[in-house]
Structure 1
Amino acid sequence: MFKRRAKKFLKANFEDLFFFYSYLKTKLFYVVIFSFFVSLLDALSLSMFIPLFEVASQTAKSTDNKLSHYFISFLEFIHLEATINSVLLLMVFFFVLKATFRYVDVYYRNLVNSYFVKMIRIELLNMISNVKYSKFITTDLGTIQNSLTTEVVNVNNAYTHYISVIQNSIFIVVYISMSFWVNSKFTIIIIVGGLISKVLFQKFYSNSKTLSFSVAKKNNILASLLMQQVNNFKYLKSTATMPIYSKKLEESIVNIENDQLKIGKISARILSVREPIVILFLAIAIFIQVNVIEGSLSSVLPSLLFFYRAFNSLMSVQLSWTAFLKYVGSVEHIVTFKADLNSEAESIKGYDFKGFTKEIKFDAVTFGYQNEDKVLDNISYAIHKNKTIAIVGKSGSGKTTFVNLISGLLVPNQGDILIDNVSIKNYNINSYRSKIGLISQETVVFNDTLFNNVTFWSEKNEKTLEKFRSVIEKVDLLEFLERSNAKEDIMLGDNGVVMSGGQRQRLSIARELFKDTEILILDEATSALDSQTEKLIQESIDRIKGSLTIIIIAHRLSTIKSADTILLLKKGQIHAEGNFQDLVKNSPVFSKMVALQEI
């Protein structure tokens, strides 16, 4: 019970520490341990100056300074005489040892920082990769980009300042402990001063934290606006609406910088009063020691030395805490973003999919997005292996949803999808998707070589090169390959800039053939192409017809004349089915569509 309550208390009051610990584990403890040894050795190194001065003035044995007495006793224990040389030797030893630990401390902290950023980014990338498609399409892309870039850097800054708080707190504890060991009354006076200073800065901390949350939210908005500007650049430029949109961006930037300026103002206030507060409390402590307690000034010299360092560390704690609060909003953002992604994570458990032999069957499938009407309503239909199925219908009739259900991107609200009478839910969804090829209107071409685009970065050897060339021939890209001096290593540029639209589409087909696709989905693959290029793509598809299951979504009916079966969707249901000639004869709706396109 006590352990559970203690853990609950720690999580409630040190949730940021728990966040860092969740990534760093024992590494965080090593950072603390190194900091402790650095602070201890620093205190011991500084403490050597008092005995050094007293030995030099030959007053070490007569002084009332406890530190000098302890030092002389230590020298006698190791059989050394209390001389300037012995004090200097011991002082050098402590400073060298401190320097060694300082090096290890700084180097290890840099290693941990690098590890921390790496682990956060890898975790976020994996979570984004595993999120459900239905969640991804409703997530603001600006939030995703901002989380992986700006917010991760901010979280690392938060960690750096948080560790600085811990390290300086350790310094304070060590210095105060040394001071208490030497002069307990003087130490208590200084501790009271430290507590008062903490209260003075509490309002600054609260304001910084509020502004930090505001900056994190506004960074998401700015990232979203920037991505929309890039995606819609052509429209904004050609319609002279760019200045209006740019003004929105400027307003977003100004709002962020105004909050950053306020945070900077708070940091400046803390920094400006840091030194006066240190001197003020030390002066008060000395006044009380000499005039109230009536102690000697020499008896408090070691404590003054320790507490001057302790107060500097206290001010560093306050500055680091203020800096941490500047980024704490980013920590909260990452925590919330992770929880959001995790709640919509896709399950990939199940049997490995080895392929199917008979059919993919829609069994009374109904699907609709949240708070919307049904997109597909009670669909039952079997797609037989190695057949070519075309799906047509007006926009909004459910064509894309149909193929998204086949690929497992969406899950039916009712009914099931069966593969050889086994539910798709029983399979590892990634192993199933590895057998699916997708070619859409927006071709996927990476800024890399032709070989890597087709083989998806497979190892280049005799076997892969032979297979690469085989699929290149099937999709009629051999001429493009041969006319380049670089051959398969030709760089395609951003979005395949060196290729025509038709060549990019044929490249997409080649990629799916290379990975031994069983199901090939073409989603409006030729709608942006001219008639001649469309014909070449159609010829490429005809060459592979019968060797795999092909599902085609098309507005241009000329591309589906040779399909084995055409499904006409209307209001989420199969309104008619059959081959091209049958539908022209038996379906007035399809016949009208053919007439309008003059086929």
Structure 2
Amino acid sequence: MPEQSLNRGSLQIYLRLLTYVKPYAGNFALSLVGLAIFALSQPAFAKLLEYFVQSLEGSQVSLLQGWGLDISSLVLIPGIMVFISVVRGIGSYLGSFYIDKVSSSVIHDLRVAMFDSLITLPNAYFDNNNSGHLIARLTYNVTQVTSAATSAIKIVVREGLTVIFLLSFLFYTNWKMTLIFIAALPVIALVVSYASNRFRRFSRKIQHSIGDLTQVTSETINGYREVRGFGGEDYESKRFESASATNVRQSLRLYKASAIQTPVLQFIISIALALLLFMVLWAKGDATTAALVGYVTAAALLPKPIRQLSEVNASIQKGIAAAESIFAMVDEVPEANTGLYTCDRVKGRIEFKNVCFTYPGSSSPALKDICFTVEAGKTYALVGRSGSGKSTLASLIPRFYNHTEGDILIDGTPLNDFELKNLRSQTALVSQNITLFNDTVARNIAYGALSETASDVDIRRAAEAAHAMEFIKGMTNGIHTMVGEDGVLLSGGQRQRLAIARAMLKDAPILILDEATSALDTESERHIQAALNEVMKGRTTLVIAHRLSTIENADCILVLEQGQIIERGTHRELLANGQHYAKLHKMQFHDEPGALTPIFA
């Protein structure tokens, strides 16, 4: 996106960020009152100093005489000093606590909005964005917004009001001399504007480098066995060092810009103050010494809030850059869910009519003119070489991807007419890439919507049917034992059996098995064959298989090649044809002389 466009949109981004404050308007208003009280104390101190000098010169302070009170300056001025300090402290507390309370709530709302958006995005979004950068948005980028929404807003409001009140005091005291100081403001604005562009540009680069850091870390942690097994320690160390060095370089450029901006602004303000002092000495006029001391004191108080305002600019620009990436995720179009049709339980008749599918960004279709019908309760197997389109075809049924041409119907109803959650409630999936969560065995079996209805008895029954109880019984806490991140404490076969138990517990009318027994040893596979046969009864089953010996009793076998069905028929019919399936079977028969017993009886 062009830099100019981003500059024009930065205010809109920040204003949109502030709309998240609306539900907490009461607390925000209370914080503004506190910060305003704090800011008012600055010119009050300057005015008090004027009264102090006036008293030193022997004049009577007339601060409370209008109220009919005659209090000695000896008591009045120290008393007012204490009063101002107490009020200032109260204002500081109200301003700081309630702005922090508001900002914490805003960050929570933003984080939840991001995550809620994330889990509704289509598969293509995850295909095109690596996990490291997505995690960085939810972690690092949110902290940058926190900085912009907490300390930044607090400083902007507090120091901004301080500058306004001090300038108002200066104008009230001597507007002519104040115009000299005001003349420096356009120069200050130019410096801040130039710095803002650089801060925002550097901040976006820092966020990207943090995403790279997160990605390298995530890949190394998740693939630590491969890293160690293939001697990749040095390679990953260099990758991480390179990503970290890039982050340091980008951060130093930001720090350098910030470090240069502050002394430049201080120099400009000092020149303005020097001119102001010159005018005070040169054109004192009728002003008393006390009034001039109060005036100069107020002017001398201005550089500090202006400096803090200039320094907080970096935090604001980082927050804007972070908010830009956050809102980009929040604004992503969720996966289409326009269907209204719902059904408690479909019968399971699946029909593919001239279905084509092309992955986003790909020039060639992954599936071409797919036509077949699976009657309810029947078992169809998909076989073919890697990349032939088997898993892609199966992923169209629960609409992980939307077919681009043709139509898919379940019980005569087009797939896109189904309400998305209802459609996915009709299918159970067991894939070769098992995902387990860092939770208990029970919560991994009864995951998601299943956790709301399944009892421990139901979970144990599903685990027993999947022959998982034989190893669960040996665990410390049984079904309530933690399995570790992605089931790291379990073997491949154990993880696969938990996934099968999960599918059994779901009891969906359509079952998709994507190499469901690929991680099982021969003995474990024989144990669960009967369980799979049982769970498949009365269900429409689509099986993706590489080992042809496991699908010999399927009702129909579809052979895919380059996204097209090139053969179909039963095991016996395809062998008799002597074509592609027969060649694949012969190849595997020679490679695996001890053919496994078919899963399907």
TM value normalised by structure 2: 0.87
Distance in 2 between the 1:462 and 1:550 partners? 24
Inter-partner Cα distance in structure 2 for 1:297 and 1:457 = 77
CA shift for structure 1 position 452: 1.4
Shift in alpha-carbon separation, 1:518–1:94, aligned structure 2, 3 A:
farther
Which stretch of the first structure deviates more once superposed, 467-476 or 215-224? 215-224
Report the CA distance shift for 1:21/1:462 in structure 2 as closer, same or farther (over 3 A): closer
What is the root-mean-square deviation of aligned Cα atoms in Å?
A: 3.1
For residues 218-367 of structure 1, the aligned pairs below 5 Å read 218-272=209-263, 278-292=269-283, 294=285, 295-326=287-318, 328-339=320-331, 342-343=332-333, 345-347=335-337, 350-367=340-357
Q: 1:92-119: per-residue Cα shift (whole Å, max 9, x none)?
A: 3443233222212111121122122212
Structure 1 residue 83 displacement after superposition: 2.8
Match of 1:407 among 398, 404, 407: 398
Once the two structures are overlaid, the 10-residue window that deviates more, 36-45 or 503-512, is 36-45
Shift of 1:257: 0.8
Q: Does the Cα contact within 8 Å between 1:55 and 1:82 map onto a contact in 2?
A: no
Cα distance in 1 between the residues matched to 2:372 and 2:181: 82
Aligned with 1:492 (options 483, 494, 497): 483
1:364 and 1:528 map into 2 onto residues whose CA distance is 34
Give the distance between the partners of 1:147 and 1:292, measured in 2 at CA: 57
Specify whether residues 406 and 459 from structure 1 end up closer, same or farther in structure 2 by C-alpha distance, changes over 3 A only.
Answer: closer
Distance 1:193 1:292, change over 3 A: farther
Q: How does 1:192-207 map to 2 (within 5 A)?
A: 192-200=183-191, 203-207=194-198
| Cα displacement (A) at 1:25 | 2.6
For the pair 1:98 / 2:98, whether they are aligned, the reply is no
Paired position in structure 2 for 1:119: 109
> How do residues 386-397 of structure 1 correspond to structure 2 at under 5 angstroms?
386-397=377-388
Distance 1:338 1:91, change over 3 A: same
Q: Contact 2:34/2:93 (CA < 8 Å) preserved in 1?
A: no
- The SS at the match of 2:372 is strand
Distance in 2 of aligned mates of 1:462 and 1:402: 31
Higher mean alpha-carbon deviation, 399-408 vs 475-484, is at 475-484
For 1:173, give the aligned amino acid. I
**Conservation of the 8 A alpha-carbon contact between 2:408 and 2:414:** yes
Q: Does 1:81 align with 2:70?
A: yes
Deviation at residue 231 of structure 1 after TM alignment: 4.9
1:416 to 407, 414, 418: 407
Does 2:164 align with 1:173? yes
Equivalent residues of 1:353, 1:428 under 8 A apart: no
Paired residues of 2:37 and 2:87 also in contact (CA < 8 A): no
What's the CA shift string for 1:463-498, capped at 9, x where partnerless? 712212221221122322333452222222233344
Match of residue 563 from structure 1: 554
Moved over 6 A (4+): 8-11, 457-463
Indicate which of 491, 503, 508 corresponds to 2:494: 503
Comparing 496-505 and 141-150, the one that deviates more: 496-505
Deviation at 1:124, TM superposition (A): 1.5
Please give the alpha-carbon distance, in whole angstroms, between the structure 1 residues aligned to 2:495 and 2:132. 28
- What is the aligned partner in structure 2 of residue 66 from structure 1? none
Residue in structure 2 matching 1:572, options 563, 577, 595: 563
Is the CA contact 2:466–2:501 (under 8 Å) kept in the aligned structure 1? yes
Deviations 1:187-213 (A, max 9, x none): 222222344444455544443333223
C-alpha displacement of 1:326: 4.8
Deviates more, 1:76-85 or 1:97-106: 76-85
Between the aligned partners of 2:21 and 2:443, the Cα distance in structure 1 is 36
Give the match's secondary structure for 1:366. Answer: strand
% of aligned pairs identical?
Answer: 25
Aligned to 1:44: 44
Q: Does 1:521 align with 2:512?
A: yes
- Kept after mapping to 2: 8 A contact 1:392/1:553: yes
Distance between the aligned counterparts of 1:485 and 1:244, measured in 2?
38
Residue number in structure 2 paired with 1:430: 421
> Is the CA contact (8 Å cut-off) linking 1:492 and 1:498 kept in structure 2?
yes
* Residue 20 (structure 2) pairs with residue 23 (structure 1): yes
Partner SS for 1:130: coil
Residues 568 and 574, structure 2, Cα contact 8 Å, conserved in 1: yes
Distance 1:288 1:459, change over 3 A: same
Preserved CA contact (<8 Å) 2:50 2:290:
no
Q: Quick one: structure 1 residues 597 and 460, their matched pair in 2 at CA, closer, same or farther if it must change by over 3 Å?
A: closer
User: Which residue does 1:368 correspond to in 2?
Assistant: 358
Indicate the SS of the match to 2:557. Answer: strand
- Greater CA deviation, 313-322 or 455-464? 455-464
Compute the displacement of 1:79 (Å).
2.9
How many Å apart are 1:39 and its aligned residue?
1.4
Which of the numbers 428, 434, 439 marks the counterpart of 1:448? 439
Partner of 1:410, secondary structure, is coil
What is the CA distance between 1:410 and its match in structure 2?
A: 1.0
SS of 1:438's equivalent? strand
Q: TM-score normalised to the size of structure 1? A: 0.87
Letter in 2 for 1:318: S
- Take 1:408 and 1:202, find their aligned partners in 2: how far apart are those partners? 48
Q: 2:463 pairs with 472, 478, 484, which one?
A: 472
Measured in 2, the distance between the counterparts of 1:254 and 1:79 equals 70
Does structure 1 conserve the Cα–Cα contact (< 8 Å) formed by 2:262 and 2:310?
no
SS at match of 2:119: helix
One-letter amino acid matched to 2:38: V
Q: Contact 1:505–1:537 at 8 Å: present in 2 too?
A: no
SS of the residue aligned with 2:374? strand
State the alpha-carbon separation in 1 of the partners of residues 178 and 284 from structure 2. 13
Q: 1:522 to 1:27 in 2, by over 3 A?
A: same
Q: Is the 8 A contact 1:388 1:546 kept in 2?
A: no
Contact kept in structure 1, 2:434 and 2:495, CA below 8 Å: yes
Say if 1:452 and 1:458, in contact at 8 Å, map to a contact too: no
Instruction: Indicate whether 1:385 and 2:376 are aligned.
Output: yes
Aligned to 2:598: none
Q: CA deviation at 1:335?
A: 3.7
Q: Provide the C-alpha distance between the structure 1 equivalents of 2:555 and 2:283, rounded to a whole number of angstroms.
A: 103
Contact 1:477 1:503 in 2 (8 A): yes
1:519 maps to a residue whose letter is I
Deviations along 1:432-465, one digit per CA (max 9) or x if unpaired, are 1123222111222222222111122789999712
Deviation at 1:152, TM superposition (A): 1.6
Letter in 2 for 1:157: S
The amino acid that maps onto 2:498 is L
Q: What is the DSSP-based 3-state SS (H/G/I as helix, E as strand, rest coil) of the residue aligned with 2:210?
A: helix
Give the Cα separation in 2 of the matches to 1:380 and 1:398: 14
